[in-house]
A = this chain, B = another copy of it.
Amino acid sequence: MQKLTAQRQAILDVINRSDKHWDADEVAYALKENDTPIGIATVYRGLAALAEQGLIESIQLADKKRYERADKKHHDHLICTDCGDIEEFCKPEIEKLQDLVASEHDFTIQGHQLLLFGICIRCKGKGI
């Protein structure tokens, strides 16, 4: 990314103004609401470029990529298989053990993805 163009700045603003985990369509829709509509291909390219620069974070779910603000400390995710809600958690002991695993395998770790799937507290009380 050479330039933080107006379009990419607009994408970044959308993502930075909430704690959501956005997919490309949601970003495009928010931009349209915003009266700054941007072509969907440009949204995809912008998201990829911003993530590459570390200006936003990405998580890869089964079906699609989602993006979030980069200005929080590193965390991983709990995903409700019922409502799709995404919660966050931070557990440095796990990260340490991951590094240990990598070194045990002579593996130079570049990143990781830990997803916990299950039922969130809200969905637990649904069928009553």
Contacts and interface: CB of A to CB of B under 8 A. Distances in A.
One complex includes copies of this chain to the number of 2
A60 to B, nearest CB: 5
B106 A117 contact: no
Nearest to A78: B107
A107 to B, nearest CB: 5
Interface string A65-103: 000000000000010110000010101011001101110
B121 A116 contact: no
Contacts of A120: 105-107
A5 interface: no
Nearest to A120: B107
B114 A113 contact: yes
A115 interface: yes
Interface in A21-45: none
A24 to B, nearest CB: 15
- Quick one: which of A80, A102, A104 has the most chain B CB within 10 A? A102
Given A60-B62, A93-B93, 20 more contacts: A78-B105, A78-B107, A80-B107, A87-B105, A91-B97, A91-B100, A94-B97, A94-B98, A98-B116, A101-B116, A105-B120, A106-B120, A107-B120, A108-B124, A109-B116, A109-B117, A110-B119, A111-B117, A112-B117, A113-B114
